[in-house]
Amino acid sequence: MSTITTCPYKVLRDPDTVREVLHRPDDFSPANALLAVTPLSGQALRVLQKARFALPPVLASNPSPSHAAIRKVVAGFFTPAKVAAMEPRIRQLSRESAAAAARLLNSAGNVDLVQAVAAYPPAVIMLDMLGLPVRDLPQLQAWSLDSLELFWGWPDPARQLELAHTAADFYTWLRELVLEAVSAREPNLFKALADHGLSTPEICSLGYFLLIAGQETTTQLISTTLFRLAEGSRGISWDEASSSAKAREIVRHVLATESSVPTWRRVAAHDTELNGEHIPAGEEILVELTGNHGFPWAAGESAGEGTEHQGPTPYGLAFGSGIHRCLGAKLAELEAAVVVQETTEALKGVRLQDPNPEWLRLLSFQAPRTVSVAHP
């Protein structure tokens, strides 16, 4: 990891202030939402340019008025009715992966729940809902993790170059998928965006963000929830979580205390004021949405390991707020609750095998990399 000296962000923690920032998009623009935290080296940029990698602002980082209509197109694929209609499929997938995890546990003596139950259902459901082919899932998962590290992590130059190569591979795969989908007969998101007038690079930019955000964040939420349940540290036992009410409750607790997306970014679009304080144009802001495990500059200030020491953070900010609020919030919550319920049901009475796993800790993403459980 490279040395990090001073924090380039104004960090905001107070929930009311965070909400105000998110509700003033003309003053606090999302234009920096997808910028690399560690600036890309010339070498890394050349690798990306060769693949014609580009992330023009389309949705999450789009400060212009075109955002609203594009958001509407995407939202059409995740309406409350469409999400509710997916529940049986989510349950079936979760049940199948939980049963496979139970078999693995019996034959091998332990099982990593991140790979066995958290990794794939969210990706399958997302691709299904977008009308895209469900394929290359292990590759998609590996690419997603690499791209999160490239854009939200602190890779040293050698690692950054490695990540630029995999991001270029991901983008090349994505462009092929976009071209295929745009000319397909069946309705799908990329075709809908092309019909809306978006160019191929714009569709690729949206697809790059969505294919990562639409599944890896949910996988991470499931991983943290299963870890805390297995640890028995959050007041709801592993076995209790097999009831649907308790599964929902623990997922909401994790969303409020240590969500997979604990922070997000904004930038002051012009000189402005916040709580009577002058904010100069260009000031980059990091808003805390939920408790977090600390980013490098937060050492000694933030909660560090666990989040119990922080005051209650309202669960309502976990998916952002205002005109860019997460379009997958309902889906993510439903998926997490169903996977947690089915997993705890199929693997009754297991214990945490590794209480100190390695964690993914990036500026805006966090989760245990493994949740290994065994029989008592």
Task: State how far the Cα of 189 lies from the Cα of 75, in Å rounded to an integer.
Answer: 10
Helix orientation angle between 244-258 and 216-231, rounded to the nearest 10 degrees: 110
Neighbour tally for 268: CB within 10 Å: 21
DSSP bridge pairs for 352: 373
93 near ligand HEM, rule: CB under 6 A: no
Query: Tokens 């592993």 belong to which residue?
Result: 238
324 near ligand HEM, rule: CB under 6 A: yes
Among 40, 48, 59, 285, binds ligand HEM (CB under 6 A): 59
Using a 10 angstrom Cβ sphere, with 0-12 exposed, 13-18 middle and 19 or more buried, the burial of residue 172 is middle
CB 257 within 8 A of CB 291: yes
- Min CB(58)–ligand HEM separation in Å: 9
Neighbour tally for 10: CB within 10 Å: 17
Does the CA dihedral 162-285-253-231 come out positive or negative? positive
- Min CB(256)–ligand HEM separation in Å: 11
User: Coil, strand, or helix at residue 366?
Assistant: strand
Q: Which is nearer to ligand HEM, 44 or 148 (CB)?
A: 148
Segment near ligand HEM (CB under 6 A), from 146-154, 166-174, 181-189, 258-266? 258-266
262 near ligand HEM, rule: CB under 6 A: no
Q: Which residue is nearest to ligand HEM (CB)?
A: 328
214 near ligand HEM, rule: CB under 6 A: yes
Q: Which is nearer to ligand HEM, 164 or 287 (CB)?
A: 287
Q: Where are the extended beta strands (E) located within the chain? A: 10-12, 28-29, 110-112, 263-268, 272-274, 277-279, 284-288, 351-352, 359-361, 366-368, 372-374
Among 55, 148, 177, 210, binds ligand HEM (CB under 6 A): 210
Question: What is the residue type of 268?
Answer: A
Q: Which helix (H) or strand (E) holds 105?
A: helix 87-108
Q: What's the gap between Cα 323 and its chain centre?
A: 18
- Min CB(134)–ligand HEM separation in Å: 14
The residue count of the chain comes to 376
Segment near ligand HEM (CB under 6 A), from 82-90, 192-200, 256-264, 297-305? 256-264
Neighbour tally for 80: CB within 10 Å: 9
Q: Which is nearer to ligand HEM, 211 or 350 (CB)?
A: 211
Q: Which is nearer to ligand HEM, 55 or 213 (CB)?
A: 213
Among 23, 72, 135, 325, binds ligand HEM (CB under 6 A): 325
Q: Which is nearer to ligand HEM, 155 or 320 (CB)?
A: 320
217 near ligand HEM, rule: CB under 6 A: yes
Among 101, 148, 204, 213, binds ligand HEM (CB under 6 A): 213
Best CA proximity match to 196, nearest among 55, 68, 63, 73: 73
- Could you tell me where the DSSP H helices lie in 241-328? 244-258
246 near ligand HEM, rule: CB under 6 A: no
339 near ligand HEM, rule: CB under 6 A: no
Q: Which is nearer to ligand HEM, 40 or 222 (CB)?
A: 222
260 near ligand HEM, rule: CB under 6 A: yes
221 near ligand HEM, rule: CB under 6 A: yes
Residue 360: phi and psi, rounded to 5, are: -80, 120
Query: Which residues between 100 and 129 bind ligand HEM (CB under 6 A)?
Result: 126
Question: What is the residue type of 105?
Answer: L
60 near ligand HEM, rule: CB under 6 A: yes
Q: Which is nearer to ligand HEM, 47 or 221 (CB)?
A: 221
289 near ligand HEM, rule: CB under 6 A: yes
Task: State how far the Cα of 170 lies from the Cα of 138, in Å rounded to an integer.
Answer: 12
Among 15, 121, 207, 328, binds ligand HEM (CB under 6 A): 328
Q: Give the binding site for ligand HEM (CB under 6 A).
A: 22, 30, 59-60, 71, 74, 126, 210, 213-214, 217-218, 221, 259-261, 264, 289, 318-322, 324-328, 331-332
